[in-house]
Amino acid sequence: MDWMADMMRGVHLDFHMPEFPREAIKNFNAIEHVAELKRANVNVVAVFTKCHFGNAFYNTKIGHKHSGLETDYFGDVLEEAHKQGIKVLAYYSLGTDEHAVTHNPDWYQIDENGNKRDGNGTVWHMPCINSPYKEELAIPQIKEFTEKYDIDGVYIDIPYIVHHTCFCRSCKKKFKQEYGRELTRDLLEENREMVVSFGQKSAARCLKEIRHAVKEIKNVPIFINGAWKMGEPEIVNQQSDIGVWESQPANGSYLYTSMKSRYARQLDRPMLIQTVRFTEGWGLMSCKTAEQLKYESATIMANGGIVNIGDQVMPDGTLQKGAYDILKEVFEFVEQREEYAVRQRSIPHIALIANYTSQRYWDNGDFATLGASKMLIEGHQQFDIYYNDQFKNLDNYKVVILPETVRLNEKSIEQIIDFVHRGGLLLASQNAVLQFNEPVRSDLFGVEFHEYSTYSFTYMTEHADLWKGTAAIPQLVDGEVLKMFPATAEILSKIQWPCGESVPPRAFRHPMPPPGDVSIFPAISLNHYGKGKAIFFAAPIFESYWNTNHFWVKNIFNNCLDFYDDSKPYELDGFPTLEVNLAEKNGKQYLHLINYQSSHMGNRQQSIYEPIEQINPVHDVKITWNGSVDKVLLLPERKELSFTVQENKVEITIPRIHIYSILELS
């Protein structure tokens, strides 16, 4: 069932199609449909059985077949795709179904104000999975197409109640049965955790029923959109054989694909990192450049994820040939490199242990986690990501980083303390230190908590080694700092207060006044503990960097990391837009290098993000490899590169990197 780990050329064929267009599905031809997929070198495709509008795309005796569909869309595509060696996932829209709820209004989700979640002029008509919708339509229909067709997997979309809260008749009844209490708006305000937990359990129960229904018929993998992503409830994860995490730059940042893949590679199952061909989200019939989709695919596969790209069938049932010209170029690029990326194992060095607070229907994530990832990527650091306590052990890591929003239980704290005692390097920012209770905190970090600063920003005094590449001035950092009395810690930089606040009637030229008095409190401190070291940053540096892009904060952090981490596997100076990841496969090590460039942005509120039109190659990239090597190949060209050895360091120069190159070191 782990065949999905090899499927780097996947397409998700969206077909959310209302019935009012006159030309709806009139030009569908399965042979032509699949010919486009084959031409683009696709090896797995998700095909619709039912869309958000509730329209089925196969010959169903249970659901409502799209009125414009004269043939069996799903069955015909599946048959032809299998002839062409393409695996097919049966897509099913679970949590959105306009036809079902408009014909059965008692199936609607109800919000805390008593309003139906009816889309308000959009596609989002939401049935409740605690209503008879589950027993009368969803599960019977999933069983129907699983029995009827030789599918390769089932893809369940929208697996949740919105915000995990619903106040419909069915939810109120089930809640009273389980908790012995009335499900009310007042309870949501008083005990949101209880109400949300009920919603999550409801989703997990529904998905468990679906899983059993499918597995009793065919032992095919279940794909649940959102399962196994960072912070997802374990009760939901266990119902999905494969992870699915959507990642689009229009929803946040190009860095999301890297961050999500670095997290996903630590799981015991493949995870689709799903982008789209569209420039600004699902269904906008635009098309990214081949350069942009190559870059997005590169960041996914180089970091351990599975590439999957979303498309949309046209209303008349055809695919846009021009879009498949682009996908053909992209998947040729992927195929040339996939043998070096599939089933690779990341080389452990830095463990970023972090929180993630995204919701199901939007994906802002946790700014501290994102900021830490951004810093580490731009600093060419070798790191994996773990969600709070979900790391097995730290035996193979040299460095642990704790952003300010991390949440740790007692067992995790004990593991981290032991890690430092045995010789590890720990870096923690602001509130992460408060996860450690006294007297452990004082022993580990060598500082004692006093209070939070009253200022919303401060300055850090200069340190020659840590200020490398940064102006030799006190450096601004956003956010409230922790005032900690130094005990055994060495102060590397002190907190310098601003010379006042811009509060009426006082004002400065800029709302953030210049630096003033230097305090006795550390902005950055170093403490020796056992055989290891613990470094404390008083400010929320990671969230600050994500929100402000103040490059000096990144430089100071990476300089600190480079100065005290004496076991880095590789070094790369300059080229901050190059991303690096080191992995191992079949006894060889592979250094993946991805080159990022984007266009200028105009109206930031309207244009959302910077598109990638063209990526210009970088030249003469110098890599220092801190280990022995007999042979260096540049991939996919398989060109052997010369190297020199100086003081047990291997110096390698890569003549040119366009979008994605790989070094094979053996």
pLDDT at residue 71, rounded to an integer: 95
pLDDT at residue 620, rounded to an integer: 96
Name the amino acid, one letter, at 611: P
CA–CA separation, 425 vs 437, rounded Å? 19
Q: For tokens 């045995």, name the residue.
A: 422
CA–CA separation, 352 vs 400, rounded Å? 6
Q: How far is CA 125 from CA 17, 117, 162, 334, in A?
A: 14, 6, 11, 37
CA–CA separation, 352 vs 384, rounded Å? 6
245 three-class SS: strand
CA-angle at 427, arms to 424 and 428, nearest 5°: 135
Domains of the chain with CATH codes: 2-340 (3.20.20.80), 348-568 (3.40.50.880), 572-665 (2.60.40.1180)
- C-beta neighbour count of 636 within 10 angstroms: 16
pLDDT at residue 359, rounded to an integer: 52
Q: What mean pLDDT do residues 158-176 have?
A: 96
Inform me whether the pLDDT recorded for 57 exceeds 90: yes
CA–CA separation, 550 vs 563, rounded Å? 21
Query: Model confidence at 506, in pLDDT bands (50, 70, 90)?
Result: confident
Q: For tokens 């679970």, name the residue.
A: 94
Q: What is the pLDDT of residues 426-445, one digit of tens each?
A: 999 999 999 999 999 999 99
Inform me whether the pLDDT recorded for 239 exceeds 80: yes
Q: What mean pLDDT do residues 308-323 have?
A: 97
pLDDT at residue 662, rounded to an integer: 99
Q: For tokens 């952003």, name the residue.
A: 403
pLDDT at residue 606, rounded to an integer: 73
CA–CA separation, 609 vs 38, rounded Å? 31
pLDDT at residue 301, rounded to an integer: 97
pLDDT at residue 235, rounded to an integer: 92
Q: How far is CA 50 from CA 56, 135, 208, 246, 462, in A?
A: 4, 16, 20, 20, 61
Q: What mean pLDDT do residues 20-47 have?
A: 96
Sign of CA dihedral 416, 420, 424, 427: positive
Q: For tokens 């970090």, name the residue.
A: 445
Q: What is the pLDDT of residues 293-302, one digit of tens each?
A: 999 999 999 9
Task: Report residue 401: phi and psi, to 5°.
Answer: -120, 130
Q: What mean pLDDT do residues 355-378 have?
A: 80
Average pLDDT taken over every residue of the chain: 95
Query: Model confidence at 1, in pLDDT bands (50, 70, 90)?
Result: low
Q: What is the DSSP secondary structure assignment for residue 71, as one 8-state letter?
A: S
Residue 154 tokens read as 């089932």
Q: What is the pLDDT of residues 262-272, one digit of tens each?
A: 999 999 899 99
Q: What is the pLDDT of residues 606-630, one digit of tens each?
A: 777 788 999 999 999 999 999 999 9
647: left (phi over 0), alpha (psi -120 to 50) or beta: left
- Nearest CA-CA partner of 50 in 200, 122, 154: 154
CA–CA separation, 257 vs 271, rounded Å? 12
Q: What mean pLDDT do residues 546-552 have?
A: 95
pLDDT at residue 360, rounded to an integer: 47
Inform me whether the pLDDT recorded for 237 exceeds 90: yes
- Nearest CA-CA partner of 254 in 168, 334, 373, 155: 373
Q: What is the pLDDT of residues 560-607, one digit of tens each?
A: 999 999 999 999 988 889 999 999 999 999 999 999 998 887 876 777
CA–CA separation, 154 vs 152, rounded Å? 7
307: left (phi over 0), alpha (psi -120 to 50) or beta: beta
The kind and range of the H/E element at 202 are helix 192-217
**Cα of 257 vs its chain's centroid, Å:** 6
Residue 9 tokens read as 């050329």
Inform me whether the pLDDT recorded for 14 exceeds 70: yes
Q: How far apart, in Å, do the first and last CA atoms of the chain sit?
A: 31
Query: Model confidence at 251, in pLDDT bands (50, 70, 90)?
Result: low
Q: What mean pLDDT do residues 507-532 have?
A: 95
pLDDT at residue 430, rounded to an integer: 98
Q: DSSP string spanning 315-367?
A: TTS---HHHHHHHHHHHHHHHHHGGGTTT-EEPP-EEEEE-----SS-----H
